[in-house]
Amino acid sequence: MSNDEARPPKVWTTLITNTDYLPGLLTLDFSLKKVNSKYPLVALYTDSFSADGHKALDARGILKQRVDYLLPSTPKEYDNDPRFYDCWSKLTPFSLVEYERVVQLDSDMLVLKNMDELMEMELDPPSMAGNGNRVFAACHACACNPLKKSHYPADWTPENCAYTSQHSTPDEAQITGPDPCTALGMPNGGLQVVNPSKGIYDKIVARLADTITSSYDFADQSLLGDVFSGRWVPLPYIYNALKTLRWEGVHDAIWRDGEVKNVHYILSPKPWNEWDLETDWSVLVRNTKDKSHVWWFSLNEERKKKERLRGIMDLF
């Protein structure tokens, strides 16, 4: 954003490095507007983001801001999950001190209910420089490894998942997250509620320069869980409802469709990978392996119809 005087004090942000995730970003922005959020989405783009991508954002009036591409000095090799190379840059919001509050969202999310309360929740002030007990807020990572990926850590099992601890108290799970020290104690990096602070970011940068990063299996969220162990605020799953939680035998014991505010389409395929304008709607719904994708299909179709009325005819 070039006009500092017009800069809003509180924003949603999402990282975009290429157009692969652009359909997700555009539908995320549409979903935030549909639930009448008072706060704008800012696309944090890196130099690798293409001209076509910029044109798509500009056509829809989505705010954008350039950020550096972050990598640790000693990165882990993510041959099995190349997406994690981009994830380091999701630590950037901690540095955006021009804002009072940033809520970082992954571009593969869909907001189903207004969650503006995240802009008002209490966190440590920037002056505490990351030395308090409420450094940032996030939901727990799910450590169940339901796809049984062989390269995931051996301790990623349902017994070591924080959400498993809530199976006997599903009502509580809708309003409270497990203690940050529960099980593996790792936040999921998909949603982060942040009071940007130079002091916090300095701690992050210092860790990025440490060789320990070569042992971080999950990039940004491994770093945050390590540097700020036990000192972050756990949110209930409804704010970062990983689609896998809904699967039978994972955490369907706590999942309630009507309570979810923000669904996170982790893993592949993404809903837009299944989207096909040439395919009949009923066939698309019938063939998807994950019924939560239908929510995305529906809102994306609504977005595309409204954009066509505005003369926006690109393929994103």
Q: Which region, left, alpha or beta, applies to residue 104 given φ > 0 means left and ψ of -120 to 50 means alpha?
A: beta
Question: Domain boundaries in the chain?
Answer: 4-268
Look at residue 312 in the predicted model and tell me its pLDDT: 97
Buried b (16+ CB within 10 A) or exposed e, 189-200: bbbbbbbbbeeb
Cα torsion 147, 149, 150, 154: sign: negative
pLDDT at 274: 87
- State residue 275's pLDDT score: 76
Whole-angstrom Cα distance, residue 203 to residue 79? 27
Report residue 163: phi and psi, to 5°: -70, -25
Within a 13 Å sphere around the CA of 100, how many CA atoms are in the beta-carbon half?
10
Residue of 276, 291, 306, 311 whose CA lies nearest to 27: 306
Walk along the chain (316 residues) and give the pLDDT tens digit of each residue.
643 447 899 999 999 999 999 999 999 999 999 999 999 999 999 999 999 999 999 999 999 999 999 999 997 888 777 788 899 999 999 999 999 999 999 999 999 999 999 999 999 999 999 999 999 999 999 999 999 999 999 999 999 999 999 999 999 999 999 999 999 999 999 999 999 999 999 999 999 999 999 999 999 999 999 999 999 999 999 999 999 999 999 999 999 999 999 999 999 899 999 876 556 667 777 778 788 999 999 999 999 999 999 999 999 9
Q: What is the pLDDT of residue 2?
A: 43
Angle at 85 between CA 84 and CA 88, to 5 degrees: 85
pTM beyond cutoff 0.75: yes
- Write down the residue that tokens 């970082």 correspond to: 104
- What pLDDT was estimated at residue 81? 79
Question: 242, 226, 219: which is closest to 139 by C-alpha?
Answer: 242
Domain at 4-268: CATH code? 3.90.550.10
Report pLDDT for 3: 37
